[in-house]
Chain A
Amino acid sequence: MIDGATVLRFPWPSVERQRLGVAFGMWTFLASEILFFGGLFLSYAVYRSLYPQAFAVASHATSMFYGTINTALLLTSSFVMTLALHASKKRARALVVSCLLLTAAFGLAFLAVKGLEYAEDIDKGLIPGPGFTLEPDTTRLFFALYWVMTGIHAIHLAIGVALVVYLGAALLSERMATESPAVEATSLYWHFVDSIWLVLYALIYLPGRHAP
């Protein structure tokens, strides 16, 4: 049986109930997060329908190479995160900790690649403002949304990395039970951030790629 003394927190009546409640709370929060990104997705949809040519041109200026690598990195991180969750249910503490740290490593790798991509974008003059190089003018709208969307995604991912590292450290020092509901909550958050990236990948890198 699960060691109730270490997992159960006030004011929950039972561990099972608490586990349900934590997952439920996290799903509710994620519903809110979807609407947070929803505002951006709506803006993107409006401007892409107004300026389809400009969005295709702008999309060509992004780096498909970095984008695809990052997609692969995040999908792998999600896989490892799922392993951590399964190991947590089997109470294999060492395996959970190593999977969590590996997940964090993939997340950091994503951020590093994103940093390289940002540096290249800045070199190419893709920041809307005085030094912007791309034509026509409305490509600025694409890049305004590009910076905001990927920036906010990166902040979410950085928070995710911090959460995963904290969780790993807490488990390593045995301050937290291996089967704590926090593992599931963190994994839900992590998968959410990955899913948002999949949408961003399609919105940013793919428009107009079929045409020269």
Chain B
Amino acid sequence: MSQIAAVEPPPEESPTCTSYLDAGHTLVSWLTTTDHKRIGILYAIAITLFFFIAGFAIGLARLELMSPRGMLLTDEGYNRLFTLHGIVMVWFFLVPSIPATFGNFLIPLMIGARDVAFPRLNLLSWYIYLIGAGFTCYAIVAGGVDTGWTFYTPFSSLYANGNVVAAAAGVFVAGFSSIATGVNLITTTHMLRAPGMGWFRLPLFVWAIYATSLVMVLATPVLAMTLLLIVAERLFHLPVFNPHEGGDPILFQHLFWFYSHPAVYIMVLPAMGVISEVFSCFARRRVFGYVMMIYALLGIAIIGFFVWGHHMFVAGQSQYASLVFSFLSFMVAVPSAIKVFNWTATLYRGSISFEAPMIYAMGFLGLFTIGGLTGLFVASIPIDVHVTDTYFVVAHFHFIMVGGTVSAFFAALHFWWPKITGKLYSEAWARFAAIIMFLGFNTTFLPQFIMGYGGMPRRYHVYPQEFQVYHVISSMGALVLFAAYTLPLVYLGWSLFYGKRAGPNPWGATGLEWQTPSPPPEHNFDEIPRVDAPPYNYHPEKEEAFEPQGRS
């Protein structure tokens, strides 16, 4: 059911518009652009930088952990490194990763719009993100922070001697960028869909970004307020969380996790959207249970708001509260499992081809499933009490956030790279990178489950000898992982200059974004398309001769 009354007239330029990449080659033309596609690329460049900064930090920390009596770093230095890793990775890479890059680039293309609803706000949110990053970089350069990425009070507000204020200000400001992007994408999805593009004809990626945007808009401000209160407490000695003055540090945890648990879904919902697109394309089948997949996305987004207390089982909340939060946390498993089962059913009897994006997506499926199942462990109170603040938890959330989100990010990067750049990359190298990423990831994080269950606490760099073997395996895995993350820089960079032309639809995929040239013209479509069929309209029986062009 379309809500759009009239088909938009074509833009003033001639119908043979230049591509968005050729619309201007100067730096100024990029830094003042309001084109959603260019802004997506600006985000991509910025988050890549932060990904490697945060990765470098944890690389050093992993090196330190190779020996049980680390000699490389001081205690203080180690604390500051893992804090830097957490803050930058979570807030400047994972949260904006898929929504701000691929969401920006693809949502208008996928719904048949010329741009997002508020193009200038879109550019502004990139600059706000950079300002936030500036504060955080200042905090790093000025000596770092030692609170962990969670800023727990009263340590952060009273005792920490790092640059808590600058770091918190950075995260606070970046939050506004997140909210602005969320408002923009929600409004775009509601208001700018092409004629015929009803809600139940939207690709699942659009639904996923929509659900994510709802979470961003409703959860981020609570974090912003919490950080503001910490800053007020440090700068002006307002006693909000200070137990000596009657304040309640547990209140901080409630407020913090009210954002930071849903933040996990900000990271993983877009990933789920990507996986649905990739699976259906390379299995050449409709997504199994399309409508159910939508309700599952929304269900995860909604239930995700009511589970924050499972971070506080040992923090001193009432046992009844713990029981309720435990129950609700198990509830999230239901829609998550629906998604996994439906992806599996999508693959069942599909005509599968293992292109690089598909291998990344398969990796996602395995890693997300392990992360999700161990989530059940930590949702149940007795096991959580045993493994709280151990490497078991570290491994669990890395499986979701890195195994899930980052795998999906790479799947998206490889799937839409030909659309974004108009070039094909080396399939062989891409498949190789995807496979060693999966192997490197498991080598890094599987041992952490074992040592965590055995009692190795997180955030310690001096530990009993018995854990050394796991730490060494884990550090070696991290090295492999580093190679797997660096490889795409090389072959994707190579493809920019020497890659073959991609053509509009190298994968033979459905979806409006594949109906416009690659790279897309400045205004996306010469004529706004009219949608008259459900999504994922694959008919493999009619396409027996199909051979993806990306195959090398």
Contact = CB atoms under 8 A, between A and B. Distances in A.
Interface of A: 10-14, 16-17, 20-21, 24-25, 28-29, 31-33, 35-40, 42-43, 46-47, 50-51, 127-129, 137-138, 140-141, 144-145, 147-148, 152
B117 interface: yes
Contacts of B113: 11
Interface of B: 4-8, 108, 113-119, 179, 182-184, 186-187, 190-192, 217-222, 224-226, 228-229, 232, 236-240, 245-248, 251, 254-255, 258, 523, 528
B9 to A, nearest CB: 8
Contacts of B255: 39, 42-43
Contact of B239 (A12, A17, A40, A141): A141
Contacts of B221: 32-33, 35-36, 38-39
5 contacts: A10-B119, A21-B190, A25-B183, A35-B221, A148-B232
A21 B114 contact: no
A17 B191 contact: yes
A42 B182 CA distance: 24
Given A11-B115, A31-B217, A39 B187 contact: no
Contacts of A38: 221-222, 225
A103 B463 CA distance: 64
Contacts of A39: 221-222, 225-226, 229, 255, 258
B246 A35 contact: no
A136 to B, nearest CB: 9
B6 A25 contact: no
A28 B217 contact: yes
Given A10-B119, A17-B191, A29-B179, A129 B246 contact: no
Contact of B191 (A10, A20, A37): A20
Interface of A is mostly: helix
A47 B243 CA distance: 12
A26 to B, nearest CB: 9
Most buried by B among A28, A42, A50: A28
Contact of A144 (B114, B115, B184, B239): B239
Contacts of A24: 187, 190-191
Contacts of A141: 239-240, 245-247
A148 B251 contact: no
B224 A50 contact: no
Q: Which 10 A-B pairs have the closest CB atoms?
A: A39-B225, A36-B221, A144-B238, A11-B114, A11-B115, A13-B8, A21-B191, A138-B246, A25-B187, A35-B221
A148 B245 contact: no
A32 B191 contact: no
A35 B224 CA distance: 10
Contacts of B224: 36
A13 B8 CA distance: 5
Contacts of A36: 221-222, 224-225
Contacts of B247: 47, 141, 144
Nearest to B195: A13
Contacts of B228: 148, 152
